[in-house]
Structure 1
Amino acid sequence: MTDIARRPAGELEAEVLAALWAARTPLTPPQVQQSLGGTLARTTVATILARLHDKGTVVRTRTGRAYAYTPAVEDEAALAARRMHTELEKGDDRSGVLARFVSRLSPDDERVLRGLLAQAGGAGGPADEAGGLR
């Protein structure tokens, strides 16, 4: 058994995505490895990039014999929104999921959500007048 502590799930993926966002240009696995300080094995970086590709979080293009990777989402907020949509689409009770999500919002988050719905043209109906979110 090893004394090296494992990183929390998703931490390496987040670091790799941060490197890709910072680069603003497609990177190969060795370039990602270098941008992360070279402490991770190239195979580890390649595995993380392959997993991110399988999830649709990065896109890859052939560059010679290797792939170069680019984020499919523009930032952390877009990534979180994508995850929320994925979870929402997993279940059959979409309305129930949304109701539970909304019921756990803080008052500040509820205000933000109401403002965003109003900007999108989704507020102002009967549900708003009754005091609930759509």
Structure 2
Amino acid sequence: MVAVALGALEGAVMRVCWEVQAPVTVRAVLGRLNEGRDQPLAYTTVMTVMSRLTEKGLLDRAPQGRGYVYTAAVADEAAIAVREVLRAHGDAAVTHFAAEASLDPQLRDRLRRLLEQSP
């Protein structure tokens, strides 16, 4: 599940971007999202969501032709969660959590890498 800070459609867009792991267009994301839907989403709806995700720092956007291509700016839901904790509680909370002796060493290393990547 995607972090609470994202709406359902924002989370779905991010999942497509994470699955593709390459620059994608709005049209490509729209096609993936509309697979199996009774009521297809509009192109402009997905374009607006992707623009907002770019403003939130979750997608990167680069010009391509007359439009843009997008890539995920964060690795996954865990990266979004770390960003939210940092915004809400600062580095001290995450540092304390990562320093806990009972924390799995692989998870501790992942948290440290995420902290190094966060803005």
TM-score by length of 1: 0.61
Q: State the partner residue of 1:31.
A: 28
Aligned-residue Cα RMSD (Å) equals 2.7
- CA drift at 1:83: 1.4
1:114 and 2:100 matched? yes
Structure 1: 4+ residue segments shifted above 2 A: 115-120
Question: Larger RCO: Structure 1 or Structure 2 (Cα < 8 Å, ≥ 6 residues apart)?
Answer: 2
TM-score by length of 2: 0.68
1:13 and 2:10 matched? yes
Distance 1:36 1:113, change over 3 A: farther
Q: SS in structure 1 opposite 2:34?
A: coil
Q: SS in structure 2 opposite 1:68?
A: strand
Could you tell me which runs of 5 or more consecutive residues in structure 2 were left unpaired when the two chains were aligned.
Answer: 1-5, 110-119
Percent sequence identity over aligned pairs:
36
CA distance in structure 2 between the aligned counterparts of 1:117 and 1:36, rounded to whole angstroms: 35
Q: SS in structure 2 opposite 1:36?
A: helix
Distance 1:113 1:10, change over 3 A: farther
Instruction: Give per-residue Cα distances to partners, 1:48-90, cap 9 Å, x unaligned.
Output: 001000010110011101011101001111111111112225x
- CA drift at 1:113: 6.2
